[in-house]
Structure 1
Amino acid sequence: MQNAPYLTPEALRLFIQSALAEDVGDGDHSSLAGVPAEARKQARLLVKDEGVLAGVALAQVIFGQVDAALTVQVQLPDGSRVKHGDVALTVEGPARSILTAERLVLNCMQRMSGIATHTAYLTSLLAGTKARLLDTRKTTPNFRICEKWAVLIGGGVNHRYGLFDMIILKDNHVDYAGGIRQAIEATHAYLKTLGRELPIVVETRTLEEVQQVLAVGGIERIMLDNMKPDTLREAVGLVGGRFPTEASGGITEHTIRAVAETGVDFISVGALTHSVKSLDLSLKAF
């Protein structure tokens, strides 16, 4: 399991509990009606697509939480390159429990594998540059833990997990505060009253705003939003290594290489989690 602060046993337990409550409700009546209680069976998780596999470790936890009597044998771990016909894992135990866990396992793994696959692809386009690929908070409500985890599996880097672990002063924050200086100074005052330290990132829209951030300082990173490569390159030159830089805003597979070649440290792409195609997987009895 990746070393990420949000991937705790309790967080996974609560996610699975909520997802099972949504899916199972007061009982898996199809399995309870049609499958003998004493039946013990096996199933294989089959890959019917090509990409990067993700969600295997989560599947093990799901099966175990549904029924501790289920045993899982992993054939292909998270991060494996897979093709049609591969077997990711096998599960054995009470047949009813296999069927109850099936859809949650597949829903998680299919989407996570799609995210990991796209992340790995975009990361490959950055080869030879120093840029690192970041995700965003543009995630599916109540599924963020899985989507962020999938980005890690695909070779990307997690941005902040939520509103609580990093301060990002975006355009609306700056406008509401009355300007960049006011926003940064108010943020420092706020953190002082809390007695807390949080990294501060400031979004800039123009070279003038970049210069304003540099004049104030006291931040962790400068975000360069919706800038063309030539402007990005100029902005990186202005910053001169004093702070890490992050390019964001509408970056696609067609533009990401040009963005990376401007010298930015990070590139954030919302499409990693909001616009991916799930990998085709299935669980089949044998």
Structure 2
Amino acid sequence: MALGNASSVTQFILLGLTQQPELQLPLFFLFLGIYIVSVMGNLGLIVLIVLNPHLHTPMYYFLFNLSFTDLCYSSVIIPRMLVGFVKQNIISHTECMTQLFFFAFFVIDECYILTAMAYDRYAAICKPLLYQVTMSPQVCHLITMGVYLMGFSGAMSHIVCMLRLTFCDGNIINNYVCDVHPLLKLSCTSTSINELVLFIVVSVNITVPSLTLLVSYTLIISNILSIRSAEGRSKAFSTCGSHVIAVSLFFGAAAFMYLKPSSASVDDDKISTIFYTIVGPMLNPFIYSIRNKDVHIALTKTLMKKIFT
């Protein structure tokens, strides 16, 4: 807490989603249910991919990393969020910076994993004869290393800049997570460098994936439309449909959050953040598995193996 003008804040209070007492308990059980579904869905998909050799392909390699990322960053956010529904949610400065780092790290990871998955679909549909070379295990590992490196560099940029700030007076964060925007509003020192870094990091990590996705899917759609067989076109579209839904949900909410006018309300911030940090990680395992025959076969084999053993 602030102990005087020369003191700096050592603790923050997260206000959470709402201050209405009658909504606290229903929201607690709602988000507890979402978290349980998210953990079970993503962990289940990870286990299926690991246990079934026929899923050891580039497509499912990236899906494994997507599920891992979703599992991690929903765990970074929701447990602390649940605390705020049952008592005052006080978080230390160190815990807040740690949450901010992992929040930024996994969100940026998600951007590039979805981009890598789009490139994989482009290689599979537009260059099928070269697919094994284009998406070799070595290439997949290099892409994944690049994904996590981008996440680490973006998150570290935010943290280094945030640690130079002093919080002298206010310590109330009108959000359920330690995010950059609400923290900058509390600083009693200049935030111009932070705002510049935020603009650069957000611009790079939205523009580069968005352009890559746009080019990949333009080429994919062009290639699909050239397929003469209606069955072939349908099969090609079905392999991309799940990814398009996941990408639209994530990038749509993220763009609304970070590229909106400064006059937008705090409640709008919270709602858009919920979509890409909580709802998305819960839905992704189902988006990618409901119409996926490979996942259905893997699930059936795994369940039968468990039953007979």
Do they fold alike, i.e. is TM over 0.5? no
More helix by share: 2
Q: TM-score, normalised by structure 1?
A: 0.24
Quick check: which has more Rg, 1 or 2? 1
More strand by share: 1
Q: TM-score, normalised by structure 2?
A: 0.23
- Using CA pairs under 8 Å that are at least 6 residues apart, name the structure with larger relative contact order, 1 or 2: 2
